[in-house]
């Protein structure tokens, strides 16, 4: 069954409910979204900090063992056993941070929709609101955050990319240790480490862009169901044409 939210009249057309009651309802929802977003960012920072702390502890442990064993076979065995644990934790952190970023994007869009409701009741306040009161405008797209932007700098500057860099280095070190344990020379071990690091970088990058594309598709579908006026990246040309026509980017979204 297909239900459309466009069947509901705008807030300004409803009778029997005062603007004060409407503002209270919208403000309660707005504060709930703000609290959820705050918890999301706290979780992002705590997970990233936990992984970096774990990475520092592993480096210190390896340095102490290396000093005690003089980099013999016992050190290689200890490193091969310890580094995969760090890698698993890093992969879990990388995936979790990406999911948290996408969730945060949804919260930003939901808050933008609430701002539109505020402006429906008091349009004269438009000059004092942030420009991102509509998720479909160009300004609205700029505040969506990492995970829904198309520039490489935005992707590389995100926290998941920092975690991915550490994971790539760990993969290279593990590959070099395994190659050395199997009797490979130093140059061959370095070559194996470089190849493994490039493979890990490709895997992390492919995963990021796959999840970005999937997230944009899901968000576009959800906004098309709840808010046909919104335009996400990928519909930018249509949004700009609609803005030039004077309708503030309110165009129909198609898959």
10-69 pLDDT, tens digit per residue, is 655 556 677 788 888 888 888 888 898 889 889 888 999 999 999 999 999 999 999 998
Dist CA 82 CA 66 (whole Å) = 13
Residues 6+ apart with CB under 8 A from 217: 255
Inter-axis angle of helices 73-121 and 186-226, nearest 10 = 20
Model confidence over 84-124: pLDDT tens digits?
A: 999 999 999 999 988 888 888 788 888 888 888 888 888 88
In this prediction, residue 254 carries a pLDDT of 37
Going by pLDDT thresholds of 50, 70 and 90, the confidence category of residue 237 is very low
Residues 6+ apart with CB under 8 A from 30: 111, 114
Domain boundaries, the chain: 15-244
């Amino acid at each position: 069954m297909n239900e459309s939210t466009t069947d509901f009249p705008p807030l300004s057309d409803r009778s029997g409910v005062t603007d004060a009651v409407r503002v209270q309802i919208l403000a309660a929802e707005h504060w709930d979204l703000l609290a959820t977003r705050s918890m999301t960012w706290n979780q992002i920072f705590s997970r990233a900090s936990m992984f970096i702390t774990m990475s520092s502890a592993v480096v210190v442990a390896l340095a102490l063992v290396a000093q005690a064993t003089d980099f013999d076979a016992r050190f290689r065995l200890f490193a091969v056993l310890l580094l995969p644990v760090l890698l698993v934790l890093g992969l879990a952190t990388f995936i979790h941070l990406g999911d948290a970023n996408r969730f945060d994007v949804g919260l930003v869009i939901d808050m933008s929709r609430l701002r539109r409701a505020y402006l429906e009741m008091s349009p004269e306040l438009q000059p004092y609101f942030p420009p991102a009161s509509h998720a479909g405008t160009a300004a609205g797209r700029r505040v969506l955050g990492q995970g829904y932007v198309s520039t490489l700098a935005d992707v590389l500057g995100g926290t998941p990319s920092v975690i991915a860099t550490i994971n790539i280095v760990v993969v290279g070190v593990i590959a070099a240790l395994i190659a050395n344990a199997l009797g490979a020379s130093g140059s061959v071990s370095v070559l194996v480490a470089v190849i493994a690091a490039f493979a890990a970088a490709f895997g992390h990058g492919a995963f990021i862009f796959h999840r970005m594309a999937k997230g944009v598709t899901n968000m576009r579908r959800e906004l098309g169901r709840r808010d046909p006026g919104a335009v996400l990246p990928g519909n930018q040309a249509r949004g700009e044409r609609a803005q030039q026509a004077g309708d503030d980017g309110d165009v129909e979204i198609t898959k």
